[in-house]
Chains A and B, each alone.
Chain A
């Protein structure tokens, strides 16, 4: 049974138990963290876009756009589906300035269909018009219970209508065909009782039919709830090395569009050891065939049970995260050098409870902790890297980005993979942009070609050397660990920090 099915069933049982209008967030593209964050530029304007997708589809997405600098006159948003582009999109909606917040605009957009959507944000002002595309997967992730009050109210009205209908039937048979003034005789009154008696099972049957119809709609909805395709993960010893295989066992896999490599990797996989999250790996399996991905595990990774999160992006721009648990046996030979992807990285050890963490090459990574960190509150995770001498470190692009971060809650219910640009997939953005222009090309075997990804190394305007930041919002309170990865002198360094989010 896959993680997806387990969580779905658990959610329904919880929703039934609480009975309250408790929305339970299920798995989404990242895990347990459905909101989309983007920080970058819309033409000449720096923007920070946060999109809170609806829990149900069709549903309303809330979009907030923050423009920290620039003389801005108007901000508009437009929902664009991956296969129809802006031609198949309605006119852009204006985003309204938020009272009390000088540089914040907000809007709501309907997402009508399941699938790969994007929001085109346009900023108009003194410096001209700038646009940015923010991909948003539109999936249903929530089930809603009915509050006790509403259920009782509806049941009460329903009972009233039931009794009312019976009374009307009785009155119709008994009196309505009599001329005015005539009193119904015994025979007529008896017929009225019979009519009502017959009406009871008929109405009851109608109610039963209605109830089963509701159940059928509920089941159909639950079937459409998003859950990552079912997978199986296992580790086998091959030639003295530990080879991890992730196999997709879900028959719905063929309905998705093919996978796109994101920054040169078809899959970004993260391994987090249970229960203490004391071993972490960021690795890149390759395809063994159309349904299987394989990877040789680094020898330094200790044995244990790991939570596995694998991020992929489809050609439609739709991102997915596979979630699995896998048992990793001990390495055959300690210290053996294993042939692997040069971009694979890992870290063994706990998280820094304070602000400064020592990195593998002697550098120090410092987290400028936000004093008002809280669940449901937008924040920016800021880190500074200083070399062993104490000067700001010169950071190199690591897979095209200045830095990568992974955030995991201690129970695994939240896992996100962040970049300085936010939680969006850069290749998905490029995809939407290229489709809009009309230029996409395919190879002879049908693979969509993307231009080499732009170097995002100096993404943030006025980036200071050694400083990296990630826009984020913790979805719920709890204990989290944040791994931040940078590259210095050709070596990938990973710092880990703990956060208790109230």
Chain B
């Protein structure tokens, strides 16, 4: 019968996590996938910076290698884990895994990682053909890049799930709780980077920005908030998001570089930093506070409605005035180098530290209303996903 385990019925009572099992050291393959998840998203941000500064690259550029490294480490580590567990491991090892096509056993996250690695591999020749057929990409999202993005997301989700199953099985190990929040923060970076076209500082007084953030982010903050066992899991994930981005914002411009492609409308002379991270830590705090006070049954639309509305309200109150600070930062040279812009960007609102458009009055009210609806939907998905993740033990 599909899915039936061949193990005999367990001798001890089921439905109890083995928190009293001896505290094992973190399996090496879990550390490997966390490293891979970091490498892959740093590679993406570095590659974006490369294309905004130098312009042209080759298959073997450093940012690409960081991405391939992440894919390879993740695929190999999880592949080893699956093969070892399936054919060389003990019955007890296999007990803590999900089965795949009857003969293969591995943790759920490992399967997702392997899927992601294969998707990344598939995207490479597809992307190469695409550039020969349609030219080099002038926007981030093309069909082959979407396949790559799915693969990268899968690697990151797999890492999150692998840490999660350990967190849920070894409830007393605080290390896993922090690792899970970190892994969730990396996924948050991924999704916000995919929508970075809409989150430039010059767009932050336009309601489209708030709608995009409201649709994308609550899912990735609410889910770890429910599944993580820290006291402030969403805040920790948002802090990880902010920390990694700020580190890159400071480190990248330390390296001099110049454009190698025409048209050069801005003579940039150092690597372009990512956009300053969004103040997601504010709505994350609010989400954590609500969940601490909610009660045992953390499910349903009511919870999603409260979380969604609160997300939009707190994010708007924090980010709208902060956008003015960002524009002010853009008019002077600081360690964050927000005065830099891509080499092909001409003079305009972005270069002058202004907004492309400024919403006011009823436009703001209507925009926030739509954003609230999107946030509620996103939060509802996060509630469902988070509750599933809270129960993952394999």
Contact = CB atoms under 8 A, between A and B. Distances in A.
A210 B136 contact: no
Interface string B1-16: 1111101011010111
B122 A59 contact: no
B260 A90 contact: yes
Contact of B258 (A91, A146, A174, A189): A91
A117 B263 CA distance: 10
Contacts of B1: 189
A93 B92 CA distance: 62
A57 B393 CA distance: 51
A112 B115 contact: no
Nearest to A168: B111
Contacts of B125: 150, 153-154
Interface string A442-484: 0000000000000000000000000000000000000000000
Contacts of A140: 135
Interface residues of B, number: 61
Contact of B392 (A80, A87, A177, A183): A177
Given A150-B129, A154-B122, A180-B394, A110 B3 contact: no
A341 B14 CA distance: 100
A192 B3 contact: yes
A24 interface: no
A184 B5 contact: yes
A502 interface: no
B14 A112 contact: no
Contacts of B393: 176-180
A171 B98 contact: yes
Nearest to B111: A168
Interface in A188-238: 188-189, 192-193, 210, 213-214, 217-218, 221
Contact of B7 (A88, A146, A177, A183): A183
Contact of B122 (A144, A158, A170, A188): A158
A164 B388 CA distance: 20
Contacts of A189: 1-4
A30 interface: no
B122 A175 contact: no
A172 interface: yes
- Chain A interface residue count: which class? 35 or more
Contacts of B48: none
A176 B392 contact: yes
A226 to B, nearest CB: 13
B146 interface: yes
B132 interface: yes
A331 interface: no
B23 interface: no
Given A56-B135, A175-B3, A88 B265 contact: yes
A90 B261 contact: yes
Contacts of A175: 3, 5, 98-99, 108, 394
A276 interface: no
B101 interface: yes
Given A177-B391, A189-B1, A88 B262 contact: yes
Contacts of B296: none
A56 B132 contact: yes
A84 B388 CA distance: 56
Interface in B99-156: 99-101, 108, 111-112, 114-115, 118-119, 121-122, 125-126, 129, 131-136, 138, 142-143, 146
Given A88-B263, A171-B111, A179 B101 contact: no
A178 B18 CA distance: 12
A122 to B, nearest CB: 16
A210 B143 contact: yes
Contacts of A182: 10, 14-15
B98 A59 contact: no
A160 interface: yes
Interface of A: 54, 56-59, 79-81, 84, 87-91, 93, 110, 112-113, 117, 140, 143-144, 146, 150, 153-154, 157-158, 160-161, 164-165, 167-168, 170-172, 174-184, 188-189, 192-193, 210, 213-214, 217-218, 221
13 contacts: A56-B134, A81-B263, A110-B55, A110-B136, A144-B129, A168-B115, A171-B98, A174-B98, A180-B92, A180-B95, A183-B7, A214-B143, A221-B135
Interface of B: 1-5, 7, 9-10, 12, 14-18, 55-56, 92, 95-96, 98-101, 108, 111-112, 114-115, 118-119, 121-122, 125-126, 129, 131-136, 138, 142-143, 146, 165, 169, 258-265, 344, 388, 391-394
Given A146-B133, A181-B96, 4 more contacts: A90-B262, A168-B100, A183-B7, A221-B133
